[in-house]
Every structure is written in C-alpha cells, then in structure tokens.
C-alpha cells in the first residue's frame, strides 16, 4: 500500500508558472496523493488554472494578504497525508518516479524527514546541485541543507514545529536549525528542479538580517557575526 502524501503549493498571482508545477506533480507515478493549493488572493488567472488542472484532491484556501510561511502553515494544518512536502510555483520534480522512490525509502525508516538535492539555476550561471549536510557546522555558516521543496516530512511530526511566521524570508532556515538533531535521511537523489528569482538589494539585506538573527538565537553572537561574511560578500558582488 502506498503511503499518502500531501503536497502544499502556496500561490499569489502565479499564473505564469503554476501550471508547470501542477503538471510536474500530476505526472508522478504515485497513487493516493493530495495537492493543496493555498492562495493568497490572486487577481490574475491563477485560480482558473488551478481549477482546470484535473487535480483529484484539491483544497483551495484564500488569505487576504501574502505571507509565504503563513500559507505553508495553513497547508500543513489541513494536510491529510501521512507525509507532507512543499513546492513553490515554478518548482518541478526532476523525474516522474522521485516521490515514490523517496516514500519507499521512508517506509522502512524511523526517520521523521528526508531531504535530497535541488537542481538550482541562478540567473545566467551554470546550474548546480544544492545540498549540504544538516548539522550545526553548516548552519552556523548560514548554509541551508537544501531547498525546502526537496524535503519530505512526517506530517504529525512537522506540525509540532511548523514555520515561525515571525520571519518573512528565512523561516525555513530557522526550522532547519530546530530540526538539526532529529532523525533524518539524506538522500543521494536530486529531487527538484528550481529556477531562482532575481532578488533586489533590499531582499538580500533582509535575508542576511534574518539569518543573522536566527543564527544568533540558535548558536550565539560569535556564530552570528562569523556568518555575515558570505552574505556581505554576495551583496557587494564579490561572491555569486
């Protein structure tokens, strides 16, 4: 019997790329799957595309304002699957069997979550596989283990933690800091294909500030100060 999986997709005026993501999910060779689109009040064609996507189990919930992590928490709250994962519009699974392969691995494990690599392309640079070991050493340096869309969590387990909505851009990183000592599986597979969006200087500064606060709260002042090196070099254009 296949394990049931819930896939939560947050949207806000995502008509340009939501269908690509839904198509990727629907091509998965996995039965008993639930797709939850949590919309923040789109005023483009997003809703129509979602409603016409032939999704068997689709729950559409709208919120007046867009808060990414509030949408993810809402999706997590109503998810009925034993396992849950998250995709942003534009994210696609690398192949049609990857979810089944991950769930087959989890079925014989006592771990609370699994993560793998993300095929990641930024601007015009060559694509790379983003994946790091989830441990204190990397987190102190501001290195996330992977992108959120490459994680699959046990639903009841993640509900005990959820996303800290105090953070606007880095609540997933803050979650990883809290999960660093939990039983997990690091897959050797690349799970998702992600196209990075260009961030403004204001967004880069906001992310750097939030990560600084998270690392300070999780590991102390010295770790937080040390972690500033990479984001500052990135903002100054000295690092890609």
Q: Measured between alpha carbons, how far is residue 212 from residues 59, 164, 226 in Å?
A: 36, 15, 9
Do 101 and 214 reside in the same domain of the chain?
A: no
Lowest mean pLDDT among 82-91, 115-124, 177-186: 115-124
Do 229 and 146 reside in the same domain of the chain?
A: no
Question: Would you state the pLDDT for residue 240?
Answer: 52
The tokens of 86 are what? 């998250």
Structural domain range at position 60: 5-197
pLDDT, mean over the chain: 88
- Counting every residue written for the chain, the total comes to 240
Question: Would you state the pLDDT for residue 56?
Answer: 45
> Would you place residue 197 in the very low, low, confident or very high pLDDT band (cuts 50, 70, 90)?
confident
Question: Would you state the pLDDT for residue 54?
Answer: 61
β-bridge pairing 33-39 and 58-62: parallel
pLDDT at 67 over 80: yes
Give 119-133 as a DSSP string.
EEE-TTSPPEEE---
Do 36 and 120 reside in the same domain of the chain?
A: yes
> Would you place residue 224 in the very low, low, confident or very high pLDDT band (cuts 50, 70, 90)?
very high
* pTM, two decimal places: 0.90
Do 32 and 75 reside in the same domain of the chain?
A: yes
pLDDT at 74 over 60: yes
Do 36 and 141 reside in the same domain of the chain?
A: yes
Q: What is the mean pLDDT of residues 225-240?
A: 65
Contact 92, 20 (CB under 8 A): yes
Number of domains, the chain: 2
Question: Would you state the pLDDT for residue 215?
Answer: 97
């Amino acid at each position: 019997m296949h394990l049931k999986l819930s896939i939560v997709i947050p949207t806000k005026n995502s008509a340009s790329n939501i269908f690509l993501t839904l198509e990727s999910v629907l091509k998965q060779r996995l039965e008993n799957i639930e797709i939850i689109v949590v919309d923040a009040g789109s005023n483009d064609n997003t809703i129509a595309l979602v409603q016409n996507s032939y999704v068997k189990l689709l729950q559409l919930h709208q919120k007046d304002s867009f808060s990414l992590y509030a949408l993810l928490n809402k999706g997590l709250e109503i998810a009925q699957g034993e396992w849950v994962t998250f995709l942003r519009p534009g994210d696609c699974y690398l192949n049609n069997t990857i979810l089944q392969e991950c769930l087959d691995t989890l079925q014989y494990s006592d771990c609370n979550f699994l993560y793998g690599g993300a095929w990641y392309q930024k601007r015009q640079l060559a694509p790379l596989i983003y994946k790091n070991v989830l441990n204190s050493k990397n987190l102190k340096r501001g290195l996330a283990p992977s992108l959120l869309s490459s994680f699959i969590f046990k639903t009841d387990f993640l509900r005990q933690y959820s996303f800290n909505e105090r953070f606007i851009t880095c609540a997933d990183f803050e979650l990883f800091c809290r999960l660093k000592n939990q039983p997990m599986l690091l897959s050797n597979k690349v799970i998702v294909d992600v196209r990075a969006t260009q961030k403004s200087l204001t967004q880069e500064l906001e992310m750097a500030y939030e990560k600084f606060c998270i690392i300070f709260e999780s590991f102390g002042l010295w770790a937080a100060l040390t972690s500033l090196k990479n984001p500052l070099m990135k903002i100054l254009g000295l690092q890609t």
